[in-house]
Every structure is written in C-alpha cells, then in structure tokens.
Chain A
Amino acid sequence: MTDFKETGVVDLKTLVKMGYVPSDVRLHRGPVAIYECVEEIPCDVCVFSCPFNAVSKNKMTDIPKVDFERCTGCGVCVGRCPGLAVFVVDVSREGDEGYVTLPHELLPPPSQGDAVVVLDREGGEAGTGRVVKTYRDRLTGSWVTTVAVPKNLVMNVRAIRVIKR
C-alpha cells in the first residue's frame, strides 16, 4: 500500500482495507457508492445527506461507514460530498459496459450522449466513455454525471474530460 498523503492517490488495497469496497455479490446486484474518504476530517455531509441512512459516523471526525445493504447507489452523496470523494459504480448489467457516477465541476458542462475521455486517480487517460445521465445537484450545482465505461474500469475511472463536437 502506498501512503496516500505522499501521492494524493489512494489505491484499491487501501480502500478494501477501510471497508469501502463491497463484496462481488453486492457489486453485481446493482449500483453502490464507493467512498474514497480515507482520512479523518471534520465533516458529516454524507451522513445527513443520505436518504436511506446508509452512511454513519460515531463522531463527526470519524471516517464514514457505508452500509452496502442499505445503499441503493442513488448518487445523492456524489453531488453533496465537499471532498468530491464519493462515486457510484454499477456492474450489474449484462454486457461489457459498467457505469461510474462521479461529481463534475469543470466546463464544458456534460450532457447526455457526450463522448468523454475518462481519467484515473492520477489523471491518466484510461480510455473513452459516454455520458448516459447528468444532472446538477440542487444545492451544490455539481454535475452528478454517469458515464458508461468498460466494466473492468469502474474502479479506476474517477474523472472525465468532456469532448464537445
């Protein structure tokens, strides 16, 4: 495991260890939130934003605990997390496409059908994707954006660059 405070990049092993990666069974059942909030900071926006009480903290300064059985992958927390540290992944559908829902706050604004370059946690180009859904969060104005990507990339893709025709 690399020290994420040296790199600014968290690896999958660390996420697994922190309990942020659901079981394969859960992953294949439907969309689910992946929290990449790995450092204890004073914030509990996710706790009070979740409509299903799936996120909890004992203290405001704990890292969040996600109950994957309660989480429906609705994505509300994606648009609310001040750290832009929540993503929803969905590998439940037939075929090779998976979905990643991520917060997006850069221009140009994404719209449905747009082609995008998908980026990993280090900004490396991991391939291309397609915007299947996007809306602006009512409170924060972030574009909560779902992109279709090859299934094997859903745990890698964490940002997009929108290409406008």
Chain B
Amino acid sequence: MIVNPDLRIYTHPILEFKRGGEVTVFFEGKPFRAFEGEALAAAIYASGVNVFRISPVRGRPRGVFCMVGKCGSCMVRVDGVPMRSCVTSVRHDMKVERVSGLPDLSRYGRDVAREELDVDVLIIGGGPAGMASAEVLCGTDLETVLIDDQIRLGGQLIKQTHIFFGSRELFAGRRGFEIADDYNKRLSKCSNLKIITGTTVVGVFKEGVLAVGDNVLYLVRPKYVVVAAGAFENHLVFDNNDLPGVMGAGGAQTLMNVWGVKPGSEVLVIGSGNVGLIISYQLLQAGVNVKAVVEALPRIGGWFVHAAKIRRYGIPILTRHTILSVKGSERVEEAVIASVDENWNVVPGTEKAIKTDTVLLAVGLTPNTELLRQFGVAMKYIPDLGGLVPLRTRYMETSVENVFIAGDIAAIEEATTAFIEGWIAGYSILIKAYGEREDFIESREKYLRMLQEYRSAPVSEKVRRGWQLSLIS
C-alpha cells in the first residue's frame, strides 16, 4: 500500500480527468502512485514532492516552475538519464532521482536514429498559431512537417478552461481545451502533414534545421518556415524567489487543468493581468483557496469581467502592492507583501505576512525568439509587444525571406490573435508557392481585417502601438 498525500483533482465543475492504469514510479527509492499518461512531474508533485532538483551553484532546492519544459527547474534523473520531468510521461517502475548540481551527459554516445526531411514547409510549434498555419496548408500538395516539444499538440490551449471571447468565426463561446481537441483530430487527417511531438527544434545550421526527439535526431530542410514557438513566463525579483512553491501561473495552470493536480492549498497570485485573474478563478474551480491577487499598479491590469468573476467570490485584488519575500525551508510557508507608492517604492511599515504554500507569478511573458535570431531575422526591442521581437510584414513574413512568424513570438497577445496570424502566415505561404491566386488573397485579406477589428478595442492599445513599431514592408 502506498500512502502519500494526493493533490489530484477527482471532481471538477468543467473538466473530466481521464487517467490511465495505475503504475508505480520510484522517487529517491520511495514508491509513488502514478497513472499512465501522466507527466512525471505532475505525478510526483501530486504525492507531495516539492524538491525536484538541487541547484548547481548554491545547492538550493528547486521545484516545478513552468511545467512546459522551458525552465529546467524540475530536472530529474530517470533510470540514470537527466530529463525534464514535466515533459516526460510516466512508465511503470521508473527509477527517478533528484539531479544535484549540473546534469551529466549520460546520453552522449548512445545510438540515436537520424531522419532527414526535405519538405516544403516546416512549422515550429503546435500551439494555436502553428496549428492554424497547418490547417491552411492541410490538403494542399505542400509537404509539411509540424514539430512540437510537448507531449500533446495544442500549446497552451490545452489548459485553458475559460470560454473564449471574440466572434463566432473565432471559436467564441467554446473552451480552449475543446478547441485543441478539435484541431488534434482534424490535423491528424491531413495527408500532407507530418506531426512530430515530444521533439525540440534546437538550432539552425548550414545543413538544415536540427530537432531532437526521444532517441531521434531530425534534420529538416524546408523551403518555407513558420516559427510559432510562443513565449515563456517572466520571473520576478524578490527574496527567496527560487523556493519550491513559487511557480509560474501558466505552470500551475498546466498542473491543474491538464494533469488534474492542485498546485497547492493556499495560493497568492502576483499580477492582475488576464493570466493572474483567470488562474485565480480556475483555482477556485479546483477547490483551492486564493488568498489575494497582488498588483503593483493602481489599476487592475486585465479585463474587468475577469476581475469581477473572482471579486464576487471574495478574492481581494490588492492594487499598489508588491511581494517582498517568501519564507520556508523546502517549500513556501509564508509570503511578505507591502504597499508601494506612485514611484514604486515600498511604503515602510506596510509589510504584511501572509500564510501561503504557493505563490504564482503572473507577471507577463517573453517571446521565445532564440530560433528566429539563428535564422538571422532582424529584431527590435518593443516593450509593448513583450520585449525583443522580430520585425515583420503585415503578411507575417520576417526580414528573412520565407521565414514567417505567428502567435506570441510576434507579440504577447492571445490565442485568438495567434490563430488569425497563423492563418495569415499559412495563406502567405500558399501565395508564394502557387502564385497570387485570387481566393488565397481574398482569404488573407479577410483575416487581416479580422485581426484589425479584434485589436480595435481600448484593451488592445499597447499591442496596436507596438505593431506599428514592428512593421516592415
């Protein structure tokens, strides 16, 4: 009998978690219950494990942070091989250990298969933007390969349980994870499309684009590329900010909505943008207590409706407040917040300790642009779009011919706009490949108009301003 705490969610107002058969994994020699199909990080986190790794320099405990394979904070050794446990599926009898210090090159020299792919189109990233481009190309005779680094296709849609805004054509009224399911089904039927998941595109070389999968190296030589690699979550500076229990809000969303595991029991959310407000509501839905949402600005950052949704259940939104520190040994036990004045200085004497085991950071995202820089794409620092971003034409082409972008890599925005940009990039490729056919041009114009309409609201002012600075002809 395995007796551990169990943070799994078994009843949920909106989601149904389908778990596979029960298996046992061993973490540091101790048996843990897991279910087939679960991510390893989720399975052991659910059983109360906080410390996944010991940091290389100062030997500090590290826990899960992003849950999507971007940060390396949850790296463990699985049967001797260092792996990011959040993007590794459980297997019966796995032997898992903490990685202490730097991971080793235990894989080096092992036999790996090699596959070379000469294709028309390479799509990097299988979130809304990449899936939308693939949808446009589906059924044409352009041989297309879509590579994604996650276990499942869908990007961050798979954890979005809220109902989509926007017009009917833009999935409005449906929930994100349902849209991802639809696309998974639809794209799997495209005969000209090869989908490779669990595989990371690591670099651009003379010989082609290199991607690393589980025991396979892919060398892809495409004529056209859509880079839809999304974004990663920002961190925030405060004392002890690497303590397990401090997590990205998106990471917590993945734990909770994809894997059905509560991120904690008493949560403090930092940042009142839409991500911070939405995660707070979803925590309520999962039966987790939300202590407060902390916001440094004098006004709430996200949409009013999302704020109203949590306020009516009594969650305070503390504007003009910031987090100063967290305390705890192997896990957050307390957070200290304080008021800030109009110059962002902490008002002395306003410090307040809050008992909490989880601090979620919802303080923005940064476009994931490393690959674009390797392609030689011209970049510009535009804070309104999320930082360093590629210059682009209105047709989503970068300064490098035949290299396109779509989604959060272009500007931190939303799934809806990511879809539209993906469609635009897809049509741009069709127009290049087949010439200026009227139907293609018409479709692309329709999506360009849709994008403009969607961005015309005051809430999109920043993005509109940023786009003006990012355009090339």
Contacts and interface: CB of A to CB of B under 8 A. Distances in A.
A112 interface: no
Contacts of B165: 41-43, 45, 82-83
A40 B458 contact: yes
Interface in A89-126: 105-107, 109, 119-124
Given A5-B300, A43-B166, A85 B312 contact: no
Contacts of A109: 13
A49 B172 CA distance: 10
A106 B167 CA distance: 26
B414 to A, nearest CB: 9
Given A42-B453, A105-B285, A8 B163 contact: no
A7 B311 contact: yes
Given A61-B456, A140-B175, A3 B308 contact: no
B285 A106 contact: yes
B453 A8 contact: no
Q: Is the interface of A mostly helix, strand, loop or mixed?
A: loop
Nearest to B416: A42
Identify whether the interface residues of B are mostly helix, strand, loop, or mixed.
loop
B457 interface: yes
Nearest to B277: A8
Interface stretch (A20-28, A31-39, A66-74, A144-152): A31-39
A10 B453 CA distance: 27
Interface residues of B, number: 45
Contacts of A39: 303-305, 458-459
B452 to A, nearest CB: 11
Contacts of A40: 457-459
| CB-based closest 9 A-B pairs | A123-B314, A83-B305, A8-B307, A61-B457, A43-B165, A82-B163, A8-B311, A159-B312, A39-B304
18 contacts: A3-B299, A5-B304, A5-B307, A6-B300, A8-B304, A8-B307, A9-B308, A44-B167, A60-B454, A61-B454, A80-B163, A82-B305, A83-B165, A106-B285, A106-B313, A119-B312, A122-B314, A158-B308
